[in-house]
Amino acid sequence: MIGAKQRFFYCPKCGGKLRYQLQAEQQRLTCQACSYIHYENPIVGVAAIVMNEAGHLLLGRRKGGAYKDLWCIPCGYLEYYEDVYVGIKREFKEETNLDIEIKRVFTVQSNFHDPSCHTVGIWFLAEVCGGRMQAGDDLEELDFFPLQSVPRLAFPTDQTVIDLLAQEVNNGTIE
Ligand SMILES: [Zn+2]
């Protein structure tokens, strides 16, 4: 338990009350009626890094919610039954209308900025292979930015990723 604020109160199996109980040396949300343990695991997020010929990074401006008008590397959540490589292509298509080919995993990071929903993000390096760019789904606008001067970002981890990216570009490990 990090920060130990209870986020779930009823058992998803039987509706009984969930309470933290010690299970194998960890405090776990345990159903008081059926003993079901509600494990709290991070959700998997996927994001794709696309750069243009000038080495500028594609970012999207978010449409609504807490992150309205802040920018992010196009991203989304994996569906439960979805393969991770299928998921990133689907999310990227929904948000940018672009088809991508995945080159490789760039980095994997834990995101703790939202205490109500911890995620593990996978950032892929990708190349556009089709489609006409148009913002959709969670995004209102798309644009390319130099790595050294990006607009205000929605998620702090995107800044970490952009810093890593700038380092690799400097080192020549990414063209
Ligand atoms: Zn239960």
Residue 3 CA, ligand 1 centroid: distance in Å: 24
Of 91, 95, 141, 168, the active-site residue reads: 141
Residue 21 CA, ligand 1 centroid: distance in Å: 14
Residue 29 CA, ligand 1 centroid: distance in Å: 11
Closest residue by Cα to residue 110 from 157, 72, 51: 157
Predicted confidence at residue 117, as pLDDT, reads: 87
Residue 91 CA, ligand 1 centroid: distance in Å: 34
* Alpha-carbon span 17 to 32, nearest angstrom: 6
Question: Mind listing the domains of the chain with CATH numbers?
Answer: 7-40 (2.20.70), 43-171 (3.90.79.10)
Residue 38 CA, ligand 1 centroid: distance in Å: 9
Residue 35 structure tokens: 């003993």
Residue 123 structure tokens: 């950032």
Q: Which residues of the chain have pLDDT under 70?
A: 1-4, 175
Q: Specify the pTM.
A: 0.89
Predicted confidence at residue 70, as pLDDT, reads: 96
DSSP code, position 156: H
DSSP code, position 74: S
Q: Which helix (H) or strand (E) holds 159?
A: helix 156-171
For 129-153, give one letter per residue: b (16+ CB within 10 A) or e. Answer: eeeeeebeebbeebeeeebeebeeb
- Look up 25 and say whether it is catalytic: no
Predicted confidence at residue 4, as pLDDT, reads: 61
